[in-house]
Structure 1
Amino acid sequence: MNVFYEESGSFKVGAIVSKNDASLQVDTQHGKRAKIKLANVFLEFSTPLQSFLDDAQALAAELDLDFLWEVAGADEFDYDALAREYWGDKPTAAQLAATLIRLAGAPMYFYKKGKGRFKAAPEDALKAALAGIEKKKREQAQVDAWAEELKAHRLPDEIRAQLMTLLWRPDKNALEYKALDAACRALSTSPLKLLRDAGGLPSVPDYLMAGFRLEHFPNGTGFGKYAPAEAHPELPLAEVTAFSIDDAATTEIDDALSVTELANGNRRVGIHIAAPTLGVPVGSDIEKLVYRRLSTVYFPGDKITMLPDDVVQMFTLDEGKPCPSVSLYAEVTPGFEIVGFENRIENVTIAANLRHHTLEPLFNEATIANDPGVDYPFKRELMWLHDFAIAREKSRGKYDPTRPQGVDFNFAIEDGRVVISERKRGSPIDKLVSEMMILANCEWGRQLGEAGIPALYRAQSMGKVRMTTRPEPHVGLGVPQYAWATSPLRRAADFINQRQLTALIRGDKPEFAQGDATLFALMRDFDTTYSAYLGFQDRMEFFWCLRWFSQEGVSEVTATYIKEDLVRLDSLPVRTRIPGLPELARGDRVRLQVIRIDELLLEIEFRCVGQLDHVEVEGNGEEEEG
């Protein structure tokens, strides 16, 4: 005798070997012996075991579900009762099994209520379920059609419209994603490569920008509606002649300098910082923008500013007008010793916005060492400030004229072409500006710390840089504390610190007290976001470096060995790993041949083709701060 039974949700058959009150030993149709519960058995039959299940399933496939549903009625029923209604009074074992298989396999039509018992689904529920099935069929047909188009490297309009979302933030339930995924699996390729081959990615910068915006500016880079900045209060006018030094593209001019000769023979250095906090009330729309954006985003050819243009224009240190400023004055002796500091909140008239490209040919290492006698604006002040900057660098223990200086790279995009220019690091302009900013950030950080007012500091110890709300040493810069406070138009950290600093100067209650959870949250968000923005800038610069190779037709470059298999290209801001390098020492130069470039995947492959000379390289690992 044979049995038809259910096990783990599947129907099976077996020949009875032994039987007791609760279980059976059976040999399955595949020749395996199994122990089954008697409660799981539906039928005993004597027809041949091997064909029974196939015959029952074939009969089940012929049963009309709609007819069965109509016959079943509204009450619960046993499967064998419905089988007799359908097949006649004495259905065969195969017909009974077929009825059970069909009922169990149609959960939209029939709800299972117990062993062999079912209830027909209500009409509304059945119609909704069937409509859902039909919808899924239509959707699958659409997915299949799109996938076929993609496999033929043709891009359907519907997928083109969702291109960047599919690449950067895909909804895996979307039909467009399912089609793309199916095509990629069929072709054994990635979505990025497939869409490139289908002609969907003509511009790599647009692709990179789209991903960045989806991640950090999902609602767009516009500012939306906001209450405008308030007119700053009347401030005393500083009796100084101030000037700023920036590159030609700078519109957010945060800092300016002045030098005033005093009657006692000393000089008073003024470090004047733009003061947007004076016109941006606590809790205002613009402050919320600052705390949401956290920093200006820079990348070759463009930028996304932290503050709206009208706010920038109100507070940037433009020449020819008095500008609200937070000023730090340092009285300096002829021997460059600082004998006192003073803070002021005031209007400062900016006499000139000096630009690197016009100033550098006149004010550089060569003209300082051997003055050609050419006059230029603020020459006297610049020469003295350069000497003062060297004294400041010495006071930090960082002055070493023999140390090799690296280079910085400037990127300009002109009609789709990239111009990459070198600028020697540590030039007189760089040294002068950076030392004055380090002085201000260090001194203001000290004052805030001694007053018990929390601020956002950069600290470095054991080679690691981190942010903190309390003053701690920055070993790389050689200062006891370093608070970012000199770029409030461009960074939220500086904006926050300016709020705290103006409260200190005026004797007001600071916006953030010690242990303020909001300040800690802003610090965390700023640190994370600022790093992400720098990462995006690096990716965009790396792309334009790759584009430079094909644009200029360059197939070989030189590089300087750093360590292991890592080298730094001599002509571009690129570090890359070269497998199979010969044994080299740090500073050895090699010649590299370009093997492969993939701009979209941001990949470049080189082969070392020869060893050149040796150069001394900078490598103290200090962090650049501004």
Structure 2
Amino acid sequence: MEAGQLVEFIDSQKIFCAVVLESKGLRLRLLNENNREVKLSAARLSHRSKVRLDPAQGRDKLVTQLKAIAAKRREMSRQVDIPTLWEVLQDTGEWIDLPTMTAFCFPEQPNGDHEAAVIRAFFNDRRYFKFTPEQFLPHPARKVEQIKAQREAQAHRERLVEQGGAWLQQVLKDQKGSPPAAADEIVTILKGYCLHEKESPDQETARAILKRAGAHAPSAIFTFMVKIGRWHPDENLDLLRHGLGAPLPPAVEQHAAALCAHPPAIETQRRDLRELSLFTIDGPTTLDFDDALSIEPMGDHHRVGIHIIDVGHYVAKADPIDQEAAGRASSIYMPDRRIAMLPECLALEACSLKAGQERPAISTLVTLNGRGEVLDYDIVPSRIRVTRNLTFAAVDERLAADPALGALLAMARGYRDQRLDNGAMTIRLPEINLWLNDDAQPEIARIDGESPSHLLVSEMMILANDLAARFLTQRQLPAIFRAQGEPRERLFNREEGTLFQHWMQRKQLSRFSLANSPEPHSGLGLSAYVTATSPIRKFYDLVTQRQLRAALGLEAPYATEEIDFIIAALAEPMGLVGRIQFQRQRYWLLKYLEKRIGAKYEAVVLNKIRDSYAILLPDLLIECLLSGAEGVNLKPEDRIQVTIQHVHARNDVLTVFLS
């Protein structure tokens, strides 16, 4: 290369015309048409012309000449008909050198300008040929179509970014205007990014739309979606993110409708327990009653019946309803919504123990003495009729005047004492009952989780599950057994302990595990445990109830391999259900507090975290960090008063200051 030689190079997807000012081996110092000096390797040149410019004429004149040459070559490049060239040359399958291609394009005395124009033309339209500065190869027809589709997709994406960015900016600024033609597609892209961010297939397009709108956080998309009416201000994004709460598939709906219209007849071989006085005990808003109790005096003892709706009588293994229930894993209970595991006509009607309705059940009939000790038991398929649907509050009111309920409570307490003697760890914390009023505003009631009626029901269900585990173990049937190791530390004995100790004890419990064979459950003080008392609401319980049905001759049992598969398959959805319920409860607690800025609450110090303290608000059972406590010396279990300073439920923010 020599000084003054006219060359071209590619930079930032553009071709520049330049003159060589200095050449040192393969390194060149150039002056380009924009009056900029650049240094680069000779290998980066896209064209070398035989034309020479006089470097001595001065920089300004050189730049003027370069601009004119570049403009001339750009104009000449527009004369190159690349699609027609491809039509003629596509079948050759061979490389075509630059002089030959230039002759095809400019048959009359082509020169360096023509060559440079050819390179520019092929650089600007790369659909039809693969090329280097020296040669060209026609793409196969399939490749041309593929490139064309990619170009069209890119152009479409650019239109979406332009339209979406302008629309998003307009909506966020509350400016009037009509949605663009591609509104639905833009909404789908933004919605996907808001829900899944980096896992969204359109994340780059969504981020480009945000950037075009001058918005940088995915939270802007939520505001946008609310303003255009696609989402509610209290939209549950977790449900959308995981595809929960959608209508049942048509096949499931049809199967459920047929089943509820013509339920299977109750088998005659079931034990007839319709003469017993059965009652349910639930919350005031419960609609799906799956368990009932009965009690009969037997001299010095009592026979207690724990009756669970036989869901397996209605839902067969692997039928459409069963497959959908397995996918859902559990009903989901939230302050603003309930998502049933089973279709509504089953959960709320056919499989609900409503007063006065005959139902098939799996009944545990257990003889207990006054101390709650099990003297004998049997598990039978039964035909039952509930007499009364009672609430916890109603039972608490009747306990003193109802000898049967009083006896049942005494036996429940005796059974708990036995479990405590065996090392059970009972966590006694109040319950926060949260619901939405007629104005869709959250209301709260703090309920004593250890009220007599709650204790009675809780212990009877634990007893039924305890006996089911014994029953299945004795018959060597696999089931979904729950086990739990010893807690990392015991903070109190038996049922003693403060609210602080019970709250912190929960953090010390070992995680429970599931297996197909029995292992000890330390938290309950039992040698084996299953759950089979909520088959309407939990698939685990339905599976275990089916194993009881198999032991009673009502159906074939699950094999051990099938139990293992179910345990593995349900681990993720069950964890998801727990997180969704927890997050939604917390969201509405924070919504409740958004209306109480400046309110004062009692708090319990839990522990120090760096320069702050983790605290618990007992009235709401919600944890947060304490702000404004610099220089204050607090210790665990101290009682303090705090003021609600700032709350943002959507962003999960709760700021409180020491009062």
SS state of the match for residue 296, structure 2? Answer: strand
State the secondary structure of the residue aligned to 1:595.
strand
The 2-side partners of 1:427 and 1:398 are apart by 21
CA contact (8 A) 2:362 2:380 kept: yes
Deviations 1:131-166 (A, max 9, x none): 875675465345313312322325864259647555
Query: Given the alignment, which residue of 266, 270, 278 partners 1:232?
Result: 266
Inter-partner Cα distance in structure 2 for 1:72 and 1:403: 84
Counterpart in the other structure of 1:294: 329
Aligned to 1:573: 621
Task: Report 1:40-439 matches (<5 A).
Answer: 46-47=52-53, 57-65=70-78, 67-69=80-82, 72=85, 74-75=88-89, 77-84=96-103, 90-108=109-127, 110-112=128-130, 116-118=134-136, 133=151, 136-137=154-155, 140-152=158-170, 153=172, 154=174, 157=179, 158=183, 162=188, 164-165=191-192, 167-169=194-196, 178=205, 181-184=208-211, 186-196=213-223, 200=227, 207-209=234-236, 211-217=238-244, 219-221=246-248, 223-226=252-255, 227-228=258-259, 229-234=263-268, 235-238=270-273, 239-263=275-299, 265-312=300-347, 313-363=349-399, 375=401, 379-397=402-420, 405-415=428-438, 416-439=440-463
More displaced 10-residue stretch of structure 1: 249-258 or 193-202: 193-202
Give the match for residue 499 of structure 2. none
The one-letter amino acid paired with 1:526 is L
Q: Report sequence identity in percent.
A: 20
Answer with 439-448 or 98-107: which moved more.
Answer: 98-107
Counterparts of 2:596 and 2:110, CA distance in 1: 85
Q: Could you give the per-residue CA deviations for residues 105-133 of structure 1, whole angstroms, max 9, x where no partner exists? A: 4212x412666222567999879967875
Matched, 1:556 2:591: no
SS at match of 1:558: strand
Give SS of 1:578's match. strand
Q: Do the aligned partners of 1:16 and 1:25 also contact (CA within 8 Å) in 2?
A: no
- Kindly tell me: are residues 57 and 135 of structure 1, through their superposed partners in 2, closer, same or farther at Cα, counting changes over 3 Å? farther
Q: Deviations over 1:323-349 (max 9, x none)?
A: 211111221234443221211111122
2:163 maps to a residue whose letter is A
Distance 1:561 1:7, change over 3 A: same
Gap change, CA 1:269 and 1:196, over 3 Å in 2: same
Q: Which TM-score applies when normalising by structure 2?
A: 0.77
1:480 Cα offset (Å): 1.4
Other structure's SS at 1:225 match? helix
CA distance in 2, matches of 1:311, 1:194: 39
Instruction: State the match for 1:615 in structure 2.
Output: none
1:569-626 per-residue CA deviation (whole Å, 9 max, x = no partner) reads 12213111224543322221222222222232232222222xxxxxxxxxxxxxxxxx
Which amino acid is 2:409 matched to? Answer: H
Distance (Å, rounded) in 1 between the aligned partners of 2:232 and 2:580: 11
Asked if structure 2 preserves the Cα contact closer than 8 Å seen for 1:257 and 1:269, the reply is yes
Work out the CA distance in 2 between the residues paired with 1:545 and 1:204: 21
- Give the partner amino acid of 1:563: N
Contact 1:69 1:120 in 2 (8 A): no
Moved more, 125-134 or 159-168: 125-134
The aligned amino acid for 2:379 is N
Shift of 1:237: 0.9
Q: Is the 8 A contact 2:360 2:384 kept in 1?
A: yes
For 1:578 and 1:71, the matched residues in 2 are separated by 74
* 3-12 vs 312-321, which moves further: 3-12
CA deviations on 1:444-463 (whole Å, 9 max, x unpaired) are 11221232211112221151
Q: Deviations over 1:410-439 (max 9, x none)?
A: 122111122200111211111111111111
CA distance in 2, matches of 1:240, 1:60: 100
CA contact (8 A) 1:56 1:98 kept: no
The answer for the alignment partner of 1:616 in structure 2 is: none
- In structure 2, the partner of 1:513 is 559
Separation in structure 2 between the aligned mates of residue 519 and residue 357 of structure 1, nearest angstrom: 39
Q: Confirm or deny: 8 A CA contact 2:478 2:517 kept in the other structure.
A: yes
- Equivalent position amino acid for 2:522 in 1: V
Inter-partner Cα distance in structure 2 for 1:290 and 1:28: 72
8 Å contact from structure 2 (residues 293, 307) kept in 1: yes
- Deviation of 1:7 (Å): 9.3
1:475-505 deviation digits (Å, cap 9, x = unpaired): 1121112201111111100000000011113
Q: State the partner residue of 1:588.
A: 638
CA–CA distance in structure 1, aligned partners of residues 230 and 109 of structure 2: 74
Contact 2:393–2:453 at 8 Å: present in 1 too?
A: no
8 Å CA contact 2:165–2:212 kept in 1: the answer is no
Taking only aligned residues, the RMSD between alpha carbons, in angstroms, comes to 3.9
Q: Tell me, in whole angstroms, the C-alpha distance in 1 between the residues paired with 2:411 and 2:435.
A: 33
| Matched AA of 1:224 | E
Q: Distance in 2 between matches of 1:31 and 1:506?
A: 88
| 2:533 maps to 1:486 | yes
- Identify which range, 185-194 or 316-325, moves more after superposition: 185-194
Letter in 2 for 1:520: D
Q: Distance in 2 between matches of 1:204 and 1:555?
A: 31
TM-score, scaled to structure 1: 0.81
How far the C-alpha of 1:407 sits from its partner, in A, is 0.9
| Unaligned runs of at least 5 residues, structure 2 | 31-36, 56-61, 487-509
Task: Measure how far apart 1:5 and its partner are.
Answer: 8.2
Give 1:437-448 correspondences, 5 Å limit. Answer: 437-448=461-472
Residues 6 and 231 from structure 1, CA distance in 2 versus in 1: closer, same or farther, beyond 3 angstroms? Answer: farther
* Distance in 2 between residues matched to 1:115 and 1:59, nearest whole Å: 19
Query: Of residues 445, 462, 477 in structure 2, which corresponds to 1:453?
Result: 477
Which stretch shifts more, 3-12 or 253-262? Answer: 3-12
d(CA) in 1 for partners of 2:373 and 2:145? 89
Contact persistence 1:56–1:97 (CA under 8 A): no
CA distance in 2, matches of 1:65, 1:286: 65
- Determine the C-alpha separation between the residues in 1 that align with 2:206 and 2:559: 54
How many residues end up aligned between the 2 structures?
A: 584
1:27 maps onto 2:28 in alignment: yes
**Contact 1:543 1:602 (C-alpha < 8 Å) held by counterparts:** yes
Q: Check the 8 A contact 2:442/2:592 in 1, yes or no.
A: yes
Q: Determine the C-alpha separation between the residues in 2 that align with 1:36 and 1:191.
A: 44
The amino acid that maps onto 2:289 is: I
Counterpart-to-counterpart distance in 2, 1:605 and 1:217: 31
SS at 2:464 equivalent: helix
CA contact (8 A) 2:370 2:414 kept: no
CA distance in 1, matches of 2:246, 2:226: 27
Is 1:469 the counterpart of 2:548? The answer is no
Aligned partners of 1:201 and 1:534: how far apart in 2? Answer: 31
Q: State the distance in 2 between where 1:203 and 1:399 align.
A: 55
Tell me: CA distance 1:282–1:145, structure 2 relative to 1, closer, same or farther (3 Å): closer
Among 521, 528, 535, the alignment partner of 2:572 is: 528
Give 3-state SS (helix, strand or coil) of 2:541's partner. helix
Which stretch of structure 1 is more off in the superposition, 143-152 or 469-478?
143-152
Q: What residue ranges of structure 1 are gaps of 5+ in the alignment?
A: 19-23, 364-370, 610-626
